[in-house]
Amino acid sequence: MTLIQILFIIFLAVFYGAYIIKTILLKHRGITVALLGKGDKPKSALIIEWFLRVATLAGAAIQFGSVLLPDLVWSFPAILPVSISGLVLMLFGNLIFVAAMLTMRNNWRAGFDKNQNTNLVTNGIYRFSRNPAFVGFDLLYIGGAAVFPNVINMAAALACVILFHIQILGEERFCAEAFGQKYTDYKSKVMRYLGTKK
């Protein structure tokens, strides 16, 4: 196994491991984290969230499959500088994702529900991105597709990035309703993905 393959597996394990550990810790505190496809929300939002749930589970399987069974699917030739760039994106994706989870503390959720009890988090990494966890996911998927550029991995990355964006739009509507002017003020200062506004 090459160093690139080893790092790829480590980055995936850290990312998904952090997600699972956070979910278990919050569950022990009586907090339901997995809200995708559940709760009181429009039917269109439920459908999108089910697609997102399936896509992320399939995406994880495809990512691990890409490194463990590289010859199973037709691939573009791996180019070392592109592979290294992909690993760097995955590393940043991990750092941003873990920072988002730590900053959210007990407010961490996968999805949204009108009946959930959460606070608007605007500190830490949320000063630079309204959706850092999604940025982390995007970087992980895009970076992974750069490291292992097979057709299925690239298609999964594209599908997940699109579904994440649609999910973000739904969560922004929820936040506008749930937090009112406080969210509007926050939205006027911090970009959806990365950056601040003057």
34-74 confidence digits (pLDDT tens): 777 777 777 888 888 889 889 999 999 999 998 888 777 77
Tell me: pLDDT of 165 over 80. Answer: yes
- Whether residue 23 lies inside any domain: the answer is yes
Is residue 198 domain-resident? Answer: no
Half-sphere exposure of 147 (CA within 13 A, CB side): 31
Considering the domain boundaries, does residue 195 fall inside one? no
Give yes or no for residue 198 having a pLDDT over 80: no
pLDDT digits (tens, 9 = 90+) for 2-43: 999 999 999 999 999 999 999 999 899 888 787 777 777 778
What gap in Å lies between CA 34 and CA 108, rounded to an integer?
10
The predicted structure's pLDDT at residue 157: 95
* pLDDT band per the 50, 70, 90 thresholds, residue 109: confident
- Mean pLDDT over each residue of the chain, to the nearest integer: 90
In a domain, 85, yes or no: yes
Q: Which domain holds residue 121?
A: 3-189
Q: For the whole model, what pTM was predicted?
A: 0.91
Domain assignment present for 194? no
Tokens standing for residue 111 = 């999805």
Q: How many domains does the chain have?
A: 1
Match 């970009």 to its residue by tokens. Answer: 191
CATH number at residue 94: 1.20.120.1630
Evaluate whether residue 110 is within a structural domain: yes
Q: How far is Cα of residue 6 from the mean position of the Cα atoms in its chain?
A: 22
pLDDT of residue 11: 97
Give the whole-angstrom CA distance, residue 90 versus residue 84. 10
Considering the domain boundaries, does residue 54 fall inside one?
Answer: yes
Q: Note whether residue 197 is domain-resident.
A: no
* Single-letter code of the amino acid located at 27: K
Residue 103: strand, helix, or coil: helix
Choose between 87 and 50: higher pLDDT: 87
